[in-house]
Amino acid sequence: MNDSKINLLEAPFELSYKYKRSSGPVMSKFFEGLSQMKIFGTKSKAQKVFAPAAEYDPDTREALTEIVEVGPGGTIESWSWVNSPRSHHLLKTPFAFALIKLDGADTAMLHMVSDCNESDLSIGKKVLPVWTENPTEAITDINYFILES
């Protein structure tokens, strides 16, 4: 009605909450592995290996339970360079989000690649994980991946 006449009330607010995630049997094994610097995938009846360990095969819809070790190295399937990390990004220096197919896996994992220049990156490049010194059984137990020298 009189939008232009009034000074709108505005104020910031936050939604902050610590969610308590239960990982279930399959993802728990994956996270335990990470804390020991191992990467686990799951293998379907048709021998397809999903890494990180998927709970369900999207195509056959079967529940996946067979755990297999993959990686730790992998190949970049795609990447996107973030030259100016934004406030919510975990890395504060330039990095890439990447889809990384770990050695021995048939599917890619989303993670980050850092300690390199954008021009060093291309699809097909080999990468290795950089592990955190303080594992918490989380996806962030891998800090990021680096290019294999």
Shortest gap between Cβ of 6 and other proteins (angstroms)? 5
Which one, 69 or 137, has the nearer CB to other proteins? 137
Distance CA 80, CA 88 (A): 16
> Residues interacting with other proteins, by CB under 8 A?
1-3, 6-25, 27, 31, 50, 52, 54-59, 61, 63, 77-83, 86-90, 97-101, 106-112, 118, 123, 136-140
Shortest gap between Cβ of 148 and other proteins (angstroms)? 19
Instruction: Please state, in angstroms and as integers, the Cα–Cα distance from residue 31 to each residue in 37, 53, 59, 84, 136, following that order.
Output: 10, 9, 24, 30, 8
Shortest gap between Cβ of 2 and other proteins (angstroms)? 7
Three-class DSSP category at 134: coil
Distance CA 108, CA 35 (A): 20
Which one, 83 or 149, has the nearer CB to other proteins? 83
